[in-house]
Amino acid sequence: MNSWGNIKTITKRELQAYFASPVAYVFIVIFLLLNGFFTFMVGGFFERGEASLASSFFLWHPWFYLFLVPAVGMRLWADERRVGTLELLLTMPIAPWEAIVGKFVASWLFLGLALVLTFPVVFTVNYLGSPDNGVIFAAYLGSWLMAGAYLAVSCITSAITRSQVVSFIISVVACLFLILAGFPPVINLLQNLTSHGQWLVDVITSFSVITHFEGFQKGVLDSRDIIFFLSVIGFSLFTTSVILRTHRTT
């Protein structure tokens, strides 16, 4: 079987595992409820009087993903190590990178499905006004890429421990850094502390998901933002493969 066939098989297996337990349904329900509550109640969607989802809907996604995505990713490899199936998986006639990509793609597609199920919000804003759907599509794409970056980081933490709880906590801390690096209060603090080191502030903010997600919310598909998210995904999956190789050789 070729590599793509192996990846497809693993992806299908992982997706079936998600929906074979209540985890997938609980995650989707919580995600949709949070989106609805923060969009219409906290975000003041109706009070704004504008046909836009940037300030009331997409604004909250980096924070939702901070807890929900690590909850999805924590089981990817930690569970395999806990039940002792990691060694069996790595001895099968598949390359480690195929298993890594297959598991990641399955979880990323699952997150994409949860994101697609927020379509009533899009219908609502189109019913009440005339939004730029191109901007909304770009923001959805950016949100999915951001979720993929969070998930890839969670792959690393899941590979280094047998405990899903430990994996979850480390993932949250790592993803929190990716948010705070571009959080306005943090940027202002860094600027006050390094009055002659603006380059350092720029370097730190360049690692922020918020900084790179802002362009998508405005409908701008900047190649630098796309490359950033894909680079985080690629680097994280590569790091995961290195960690798993050490388990394979020990």
Q: What is the pLDDT of residues 23-58, one digit of tens each?
A: 788 889 999 999 989 888 887 777 777 777 887 889
Looking at residue 250, its pLDDT comes to 53
Q: What pLDDT band is residue 249 in, cutting at 50, 70 and 90? A: low
pTM, whole model, 2 decimals?
0.87
Long-range CB pairs of 145-148, under 8 A, 24+ apart, other chains included: 145/216, 145/226, 145/229, 145/230, 146/61, 146/62, 146/65, 146/209, 146/212, 146/213, 146/229, 147/61, 147/65, 147/69, 147/108, 147/111, 147/112, 147/115, 148/108, 148/111, 148/229, 148/233
Residues 6+ apart with CB under 8 A from 80: 86, 89
Domain containing 34: what range? 3-249
Q: What is the pLDDT of residues 149-199, one digit of tens each?
A: 999 999 999 888 888 888 899 999 999 988 887 777 777 776 777 665 676
> Residue 163 — left, alpha, or beta (φ > 0 → left; ψ -120 to 50 → alpha)?
beta
Looking at residue 143, its pLDDT comes to 95
From residue 27, give the alpha-carbon distance in Å to each of 32, 104, 126: 9, 17, 27
Looking at residue 87, its pLDDT comes to 62
Looking at residue 194, its pLDDT comes to 67
Residue type, position 35, single letter: N
Q: What is the pLDDT of residues 82-110, one digit of tens each?
A: 666 666 666 667 777 888 898 999 999 99
Number of domains in the chain: 1
Under 8 Å between Cβ of 152 and 212: no
